[in-house]
Amino acid sequence: MSAQAPAKKAKHKTKIVSVAVPDINDFVPGHTEGDTDFDGHGPSVYISADVKRKGSQLVLAIYAIFQETESDWTTFEGALEQTFYDVNLQHPGWRIRSIQGNFHQVYQTVLTGYGQHSISPFGTSDFVNNMVLVGDSDGGAFGGDDKPRIVKLGFNKIELTLVK
């Protein structure tokens, strides 16, 4: 009777890579409700930023809503998805096993005053590292058209565990 040696399992190789998430510049959500003037009432702002995994690709998903804090509830709302990484292009033969660290962040506030607002502090362990927003842009005294937007949304790098 001959004894067979157990079959050896092939050992998977793993590696960790650092990936830069691209900045979002000048994202303007669409007008969805009310007139187009915050009239000095806020706006209340909610912004969500996520990295989603879609097979071999990573997608940056942004959602933003700017809403007046009083009636007529002027609202601008929009979403953006942008593919920024494909493991098949950057590391052929490898697969994404997991995303490490923070890859989701929500920010909510009420903007006061007019013009640009630099939002800080964000740390190196946060997903977002800097944010510049415009809410009420025209002074609000005599009506007008506001154009709320994300002027800049910057991110810290994320780390991926790859397997081959």
Q: In the chain, what is the straight-line distance between the N-terminal and C-terminal CA atoms, in Å?
A: 38
The reply to whether 4 falls in a domain is no
pLDDT of residue 66: 97
pTM of the model: 0.88
The reply to whether 2 falls in a domain is no
The reply to whether 103 falls in a domain is yes
The reply to whether 3 falls in a domain is no
Q: How many CB atoms lie within 10 A of CB 67?
A: 22
90-116 pLDDT, tens digit each: 999 999 999 998 999 999 999 998 889
The reply to whether 9 falls in a domain is no
Looking at residue 20, the DSSP 8-state letter turns out to be P
Better-scored residue on pLDDT, 2 or 132 = 132
- Which string of b and e fits 90-126 if b means at least 16 CB within 10 Å? ebeebebeebeeebebebebebeebeebebeebeeee
Q: How confident is the model at residue 58 (pLDDT cuts 50, 70, 90)?
A: very high
The amino acid occupying position 31 is: H
Structural domain of 70: 14-163
pLDDT of residue 39: 87
Q: Which region, left, alpha or beta, applies to residue 33 given φ > 0 means left and ψ of -120 to 50 means alpha?
A: beta
Longest Cα–Cα distance in the chain:
97
Mean pLDDT on 35-45 = 92
Question: Is residue 3's pLDDT more than 90?
Answer: no
The reply to whether 29 falls in a domain is yes
To the nearest whole number, what is the mean pLDDT of the chain? 91
Sign of the dihedral defined by the CA atoms of residues 116, 67, 154, 107, in that order: positive
Q: How many domains does the chain have?
A: 1
